[in-house]
């Protein structure tokens, strides 16, 4: 990406409101190079990016870290975790999560990463703490450790307290089901649906479908296809509530992608409604 492709100010510098967009693209490309093991290219692309994007490639590197590099990386992370910059701390927690996954089978190193997280996670806003715990629980599940995953889910639920964020409650319910606590998971999923009904009038119309969609995915993960399809039907209707074509198109695409990614086969009624909404979109959507 060239500087000629983004707006410049009179001094030839990238306009501040455009810098983060350019840098986010550069960092995304850098992450791809890091995955491929092309670290020199990654370093070149991430040099000089805005602070909010700095360090995001380190998570990819952590997933490939050698045992001999562990001590140095953990020590460097603790410096960022002890600081006051939220963006840097957030990136450091992402790296911690990747280290946790990379060294999961090494109980001693994994415990040290957990300790570093526990000592500093209070600095994060509540929703980011929960996101972090969800990520750790998913890694535990990937390693077949359902018991530890359940412990992490319970910890996340404690952090959440009386959480009223429908997508987070839905994701925690889905995870709880995956680790075997199925009755409680269903209760939590049902409570998320009640929360949505209570909050619906206060949610801006363009966000309603995205708020409800994770709950449809949770019911599907629980094996309740009928409940999942009922919620997906509601998601479709919430997605057409905005008078503008663009958000309607974006919500329709997001819902279709969700169905495909989670292996949900729409019934005839749902499929017909999808085509009806698609047909009603105006150009260029």
In this prediction the pTM is 0.77
pLDDT at 125 (0 to 100) = 83
Which among 34-43, 215-224, 276-285 has the top mean pLDDT? 215-224
Any idea which residue has 């009755």 for tokens?
A: 183
Residue 51 scores a pLDDT above 80: no
Residue 34 scores a pLDDT above 70: no
Output the six-digit token pair for 105: 């089978």
Query: Band of the pLDDT at 198, cuts 50, 70, 90?
Result: very high
pLDDT at 2 (0 to 100) = 44
Hey, what long-range contacts does 252-255 have (CB within 8 A, 24 or more apart)?
A: 252/277, 252/278, 252/281, 254/209, 254/210, 254/213, 255/209, 255/213
Q: Reduce the DSSP state of residue 106 to 3 states and report it.
A: coil
Residue 11 scores a pLDDT above 70: no
Output the six-digit token pair for 122: 């209070």
Q: pLDDT, tens digit, for every residue of 138-177? A: 999 999 999 999 999 999 988 887 678 899 999 999 999 9
Using CA atoms, how far apart are residues 188 and 169, in angstroms rounded to an integer? 7
**Residues 227-233, mean pLDDT to the nearest whole number:** 98
């Amino acid at each position: 990406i060239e500087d000629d492709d983004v707006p410049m100010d009179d001094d030839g510098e990238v306009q501040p409101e455009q810098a983060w967009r350019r840098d986010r693209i550069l960092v995304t490309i850098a992450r791809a190079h890091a995955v491929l093991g092309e670290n020199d290219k990654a370093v070149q692309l991430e040099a000089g990016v805005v602070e909010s994007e700095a360090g995001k490639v380190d998570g990819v590197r952590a997933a490939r870290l050698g045992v001999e590099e562990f001590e140095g990386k953990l020590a460097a992370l603790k410096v960022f975790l002890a600081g006051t910059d939220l963006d840097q701390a957030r990136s450091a927690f992402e790296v911690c999560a990747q280290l946790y996954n990379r060294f999961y089978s090494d109980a001693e190193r994994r415990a040290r990463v957990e300790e570093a997280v526990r000592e500093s996670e209070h600095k994060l806003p509540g929703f980011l703490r929960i996101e972090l715990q969800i990520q750790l629980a998913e890694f535990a599940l990937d390693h077949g450790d359902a018991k530890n995953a359940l412990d992490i889910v319970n910890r996340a639920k404690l952090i959440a307290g009386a959480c009223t964020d429908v997508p987070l409650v839905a994701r925690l319910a889905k995870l709880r089901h995956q680790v075997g606590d199925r009755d409680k998971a269903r209760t939590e999923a049902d409570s998320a649906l009640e929360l949505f009904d209570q909050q619906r009038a206060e949610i801006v119309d363009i966000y309603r479908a995205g708020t409800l969609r994770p709950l449809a995915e949770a019911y599907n993960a629980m094996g309740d296809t009928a409940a999942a399809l009922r919620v997906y039907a509601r998601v479709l209707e919430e997605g057409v509530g905005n008078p503008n074509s663009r958000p309607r198109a974006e919500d329709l695409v997001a819902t279709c992608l969700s169905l495909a990614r989670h292996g949900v086969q729409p019934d005839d009624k749902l499929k017909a409604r999808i085509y009806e909404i698609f047909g009603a979109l105006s150009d260029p959507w």
